Structure 1
């Protein structure tokens, strides 16, 4: 899916509210213990903590860049599917003719062949988007509490319907039965497409040169499918994702040991001229800590959110919308009535699916 509007501050605050509450409670408890029990010995120097923070910042930056790269690559792949699909639809309509046919067939037969090839391509896109939405063990973002709340409101259509029922408008019962037996259903559909094209070529309904052009488009679809499956089936390296998550929490937990004593020392200096302000100055460590911890945690979480661009979260590539858009284009070019063409998936809370 893809959120069209700018991510507003209140949305971000709501998305991270549980962690923010934890940071507030954690630092308030630490400052209270430090202040009331006079734990001035409970501190560490800034230098080692600064080194940890620098290392964590570098790893988070690397993670975010890598995650964005995966999202952008996925978007380019599905952009390629858009272009190749439109080209395929155009070629089929112009290359399936009686011009080189051994035995001429009626125009209605040609139109039926064009429709069958076009519908099978739509079925391929349907099977591919369903395969991209299948959960993987490393896809854990949608299982987080705030993301579950979001997915209860906005979720991919593939979570609400099965592949077999979604294929029924485009394939015969025999084809569906054959496809559902295969492990990789989208690959099986391209095999069927190739066999159909060969059968038409042998009848002369498709010229040999046209057959080669159409086969090259199937080859391109195989390449795009493989690229999409590569991103889906190969996770962001866990040694980076998991350790970075732990490093971030180590930094966040250790941070009060340096920031609170620092504010206490500043407060002691202020007390020389303003005793009241000096005594309470240590409590200003709370908002400063919350701000630093929240920034580190949120940046790390943003990176995790972008690791798997087909998982089903709010910022994924909107493959359902893309596939439906292609279907609408192809069926309009077949000359179908508007009432017979499915509508685009709705945009809910400015989010495409």
Structure 2
């Protein structure tokens, strides 16, 4: 655990290194101006700066709480998809049978129907996770250089949806789904139509049909909730103003911090002439720490605004969907060589 914490700390420091270097340049410039040009008159009182800093801390805290709320809601939605998917897989296997059929089907034919329903559900999850990975104009975090240099990207960027869906559904279903803009919804329509056909054949009892239709309804609800988070961004006026307010505070901070350290130096110059003369240079590490904390907290909030964007801090919907797929296929009794492997964990990160 200690090694992992150190590794995470290093990642955070490396993730923000460009801004940290900028903060170092800003404060060194201000200290140099004060030291060499004697700009002791260029300062602002601590009181207005403290008010600005307090306001910035509040808005950043509000942004982080809202962003975490979006991430947590997204995780609960996909947790619901996990539970509902397992329930659907179990119900299909137990409810599709000849108990009430007027023209009983063979065991192989029943298994084919069960397999079709299960694979179509896997296709629905696949289509949904691809839809959640589609870029939106307000999703810009993934394009930041420090979010790309690690070489980490979600699996949906390395394979196309068409290739993923073809092995899961029939050719007629594939043609129907690919002709629709919302492919996840189209798959659930097909699922409902199939259940109705099984009911009419008598291999699905009336009450079983209602139970499974209830699950399809729940899947529509979960899909809609996931789409709501994806398509409704964190309000841009909050996000943009937070960013600007943070930079206003960071740029004004040297006008109070450097003169304060200069005054402290003048107070000790009689007893320690050398230290008193250069004491204002000690403001550099303190400024960098304060600016880094404010900036990093604001950037963490921006990173968490869109939990399906595909960055390292998002909800791992690809891993969740693949885990459900593995469970469903194993419970169908498929051979291991036909069951896909779980997506790899890259640098302690799941996608």
Provide TM-score, normalisation by structure 1.
0.97
Root-mean-square deviation (CA, aligned residues, Å) is 1.1
Partner of 1:349: 347
1:209 to 207, 210, 222: 207
Structure 2 counterparts to residues 97-176 of structure 1, below 5 A: 97-150=97-150, 153-176=151-174
CA apart distance, 1:6: 7.8
CA apart distance, 1:143: 1.0
CA apart distance, 1:155: 0.8
Aligned partners of 2:6 and 2:155: how far apart in 1? Answer: 24
Partner of 1:51: 51
Aligned partners of 1:251 and 1:346: how far apart in 2? Answer: 41
Go from structure 1 to structure 2 and tell me whether the alpha carbon gap of 1:40 and 1:348 turns closer, same or farther (over 3 Å shift). same
Write out per-residue CA displacement over residues 159-210 of structure 1, whole angstroms, 9 at most, x where no aligned residue.
1111111101101222112111111110000000000000010010100000
Aligned partners of 2:51 and 2:99: how far apart in 1? Answer: 74
Go from structure 1 to structure 2 and tell me whether the alpha carbon gap of 1:5 and 1:221 turns closer, same or farther (over 3 Å shift). farther
Partner of 2:219: 221
Aligned partners of 2:7 and 2:221: how far apart in 1? Answer: 34
Partner of 2:285: 287
CA apart distance, 1:348: 1.4
Aligned partners of 1:6 and 1:125: how far apart in 2? Answer: 36
CA apart distance, 1:121: 0.1
Partner of 2:273: 275
Partner of 1:262: 260
Aligned partners of 2:343 and 2:167: how far apart in 1? Answer: 17
Q: Is the 8 A contact 1:103 1:203 kept in 2?
A: yes
Write out per-residue CA displacement over residues 233-291 of structure 1, whole angstroms, 9 at most, x where no aligned residue.
11111111110000000000000001001111110111021111100100001111001
SS at match of 1:186: helix
Q: Does 1:326 align with 2:316?
A: no
Which 5+ residue runs of structure 2 have no aligned equivalent?
none
Provide TM-score, normalisation by structure 2.
0.98
Aligned partners of 2:135 and 2:6: how far apart in 1? Answer: 27
Aligned partners of 2:170 and 2:304: how far apart in 1? Answer: 38
CA apart distance, 1:102: 2.0
Aligned partners of 1:144 and 1:329: how far apart in 2? Answer: 36
Aligned partners of 1:197 and 1:303: how far apart in 2? Answer: 44
Structure with the greater relative contact order (CA < 8 A, sep ≥ 6): 1 or 2? Answer: 1
Which 5+ residue runs of structure 1 have no aligned equivalent?
none
Aligned partners of 2:270 and 2:66: how far apart in 1? Answer: 51
Write out per-residue CA displacement over residues 63-91 of structure 1, whole angstroms, 9 at most, x where no aligned residue.
11111111111111100000000000000
Partner of 1:311: 309
Go from structure 1 to structure 2 and tell me whether the alpha carbon gap of 1:36 and 1:53 turns closer, same or farther (over 3 Å shift). same
Partner of 2:182: 184
Partner of 2:76: 76
Q: Is the 8 A contact 1:241 1:304 kept in 2?
A: yes
SS at match of 1:171: coil
CA apart distance, 1:29: 1.0
Q: Is the 8 A contact 1:5 1:350 kept in 2?
A: no
Q: Is the 8 A contact 1:132 1:311 kept in 2?
A: yes
Aligned partners of 1:126 and 1:268: how far apart in 2? Answer: 67
Aligned partners of 2:71 and 2:78: how far apart in 1? Answer: 11
- Segments of 4+ moved more than 6 angstroms: 4-7
Partner of 1:92: 92
CA apart distance, 1:5: 6.8
SS at match of 1:8: helix
Write out per-residue CA displacement over residues 297-340 of structure 1, whole angstroms, 9 at most, x where no aligned residue.
00000111111110000011110000000000000010111111
Q: Does 1:33 align with 2:33?
A: yes
Aligned partners of 2:62 and 2:7: how far apart in 1? Answer: 22
Aligned partners of 2:199 and 2:205: how far apart in 1? Answer: 6
